[in-house]
């Protein structure tokens, strides 16, 4: 075996170093165990490499963009080079802009604010709330919600019909061709299933619409190439890409962003500001930037941007081919283990054979999902998530409830053992050791077979160990 092949083989079987890998947590039954973080879909642990890069920069922290001092100039270079690193990671086109935001939710709200008046937005009901909700906040924007497809092909066909009907309505009304935007996830935050992004982009563009990709769950697991996927924008969060909280990205076409009012008004977004007084009344005249700075008012999150760039570089250097291969092995291990438990039902839109990332949601017959998740944590040191995962319509559809039924992001207030319309989600990625996945599978089997060792109660809407 060559040195390169040996290195690839080693990388395939070795998790990337992340913070918290050696943290010990107490068990309600006594003793401690190293924490098994299996909630990557909510927030992935920061890569050690990212944390080290941040620590190395910290002593040189300075103001950005207009300072004459050395540290200010260094920080400005770091910030702008981070933008270039992210652009390379995403395969951005020469004219694309990379805007640093707070997270995916912030990115999509920014894009919603930049839509031309009268834009029609098309979004599947299966989306995370971050990509489901921002559009209806804008006056003068129409939103068309598309029903949950049961296959990638059906997703493409559903969008095709919706866009054809929209275009026909425009022609019938003789109102001219208005703007349209399609919003779609790259990988579901509930089922982990990959969506046919390239095919959806082709349909969108064939009808004169644009498309934005919510890559929050895709980018940490698979390469995302804007040009190859032919999407107009990509949004994602740093805290799901092995960077700390507080920074995100909106990258893509510049025209709507340049034409829109600044997302926030303030310093940094403006090039020139003048105050003129006419008849005793003052008026501020502003010339706004047309670069990314237009939507980055205020002092930017330099460390957040640098952290994202560091994570992008680390994942690229690790090689997505080996990362994907290792993750597929972990996915198979979890799915095969859950399949051995008759009481477990894994949630899926597209079926068992659909390609997916390391995000798997399920329910257990006879268990309230909050109770099951609490037992995994308290008795086994395993952190998963339970609830509706900020994708209420999708989870309710998969569980047989009404998509429009009201719910909360956390678990419903039900006693342990009672049925409620919520699920359990296990999620993992490049930093997950094999042992954590194996412990999870073993814990599921043991809990279903033997029941919980401890009693639990509901407190503030959560199921917690009863220590009274």
At a CB cut-off of 8 Å and minimum separation 6, what does 120 contact? 141, 142, 143, 144, 166, 178, 179, 180, 181
Q: Are 244 and 304 in contact (CB under 8 A)?
A: yes
390 is catalytic: yes
Place of tokens 């107490």: 26
Q: Token digits for 17?
A: 């170093």
Reported as type and span, the H/E element at residue 130 is helix 129-132
DSSP track, 37-71: E-BTTT-PPPBHHHHHHHHHHGGG----SS--SHH
- Alpha-carbon distance of 185 to 193, in angstroms, equals 10
- Alpha-carbon distance of 100 to 106, in angstroms, equals 10
Q: Token digits for 283?
A: 């008026």
Let me know the angle formed at the C-alpha of 339 by 335 and 341, rounded to the nearest 5 degrees. 130
Q: Catalytic: which of 92, 390, 409, 463?
A: 390
Q: Are 194 and 186 in contact (CB under 8 A)?
A: yes
- Alpha-carbon distance of 205 to 190, in angstroms, equals 28
Packing angle, helices 302-318 and 320-339, rounded to 10: 80
- Alpha-carbon distance of 340 to 362, in angstroms, equals 13
Burial of 141 by CB count in 10 Å (0-12 exposed, 13-18 middle, 19+ buried)? Answer: buried
- Alpha-carbon distance of 252 to 95, in angstroms, equals 8
Structural Rg of the chain based on CA atoms? 24
Q: What are the catalytic residues?
A: 390
């Amino acid at each position: 075996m060559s040195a390169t092949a040996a290195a690839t083989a080693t990388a395939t079987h070795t998790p990337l170093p992340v913070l918290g890998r050696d943290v010990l947590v107490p068990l309600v039954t006594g003793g401690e165990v190293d924490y098994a973080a299996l909630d990557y879909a909510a927030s992935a642990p920061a890569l050690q490499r990212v944390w080290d890069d941040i620590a190395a920069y910290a002593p040189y922290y300075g103001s950005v963009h207009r300072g004459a001092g050395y540290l200010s100039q260094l920080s400005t270079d770091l910030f702008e080079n981070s933008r270039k690193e992210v652009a390379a990671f995403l395969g951005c086109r020469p004219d694309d802009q990379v805007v640093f935001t707070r997270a995916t939710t912030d990115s999509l709200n920014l894009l919603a604010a930049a839509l031309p008046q009268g834009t029609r937005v098309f979004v599947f009901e299966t989306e995370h709330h971050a990509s489901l909700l921002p559009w209806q906040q804008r006056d003068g924007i129409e939103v068309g919600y598309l029903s949950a497809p049961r296959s990638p092909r059906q997703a493409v066909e559903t969008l095709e019909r919706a866009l054809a009907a929209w275009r026909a309505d425009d022609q019938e009304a003789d109102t001219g061709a208005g703007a349209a935007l399609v919003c779609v996830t790259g990988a579901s935050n509930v089922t982990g299933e990959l969506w046919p992004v390239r095919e959806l982009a082709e349909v969108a563009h064939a009808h004169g619409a644009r498309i934005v990709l919510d890559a929050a769950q895709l980018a940490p697991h698979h390469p995302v190439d804007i040009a190859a996927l032919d999407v107009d924008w990509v949004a994602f969060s740093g805290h799901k890409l092995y960077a700390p909280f507080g920074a995100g990205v909106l990258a893509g076409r510049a025209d709507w962003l340049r034409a829109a009012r600044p997302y926030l008004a303030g310093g940094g977004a403006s090039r020139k500001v003048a105050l003129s007084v006419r008849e005793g009344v003052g008026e501020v005249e502003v010339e706004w930037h047309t670069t990314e700075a237009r939507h980055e008012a205020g002092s930017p999150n330099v460390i957040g941007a640098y952290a994202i760039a560091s994570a992008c570089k680390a994942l690229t250097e690790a090689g997505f081919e080996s990362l994907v291969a290792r993750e597929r092995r972990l996915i198979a291990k979890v799915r095969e283990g859950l399949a051995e438990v008759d009481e477990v039902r894994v949630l899926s839109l597209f079926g068992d054979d659909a390609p997916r990332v390391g995000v798997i949601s399920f329910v257990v017959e006879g268990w309230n999902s909050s109770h099951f998740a609490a037992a995994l944590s308290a008795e086994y040191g395993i952190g998963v998530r339970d609830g509706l995962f900020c994708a209420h319509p999708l989870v309710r559809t998969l569980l047989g409830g009404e998509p429009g039924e009201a719910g909360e992001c956390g678990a419903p207030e039900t006693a342990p053992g009672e049925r409620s319309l919520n699920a359990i989600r296990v999620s993992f990625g490049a930093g997950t050791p094999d042992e954590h996945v194996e412990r999870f599978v073993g814990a599921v089997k043991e809990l279903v077979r033997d029941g919980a060792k401890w009693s639990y109660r509901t407190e503030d809407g959560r199921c917690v160990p009863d220590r009274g």
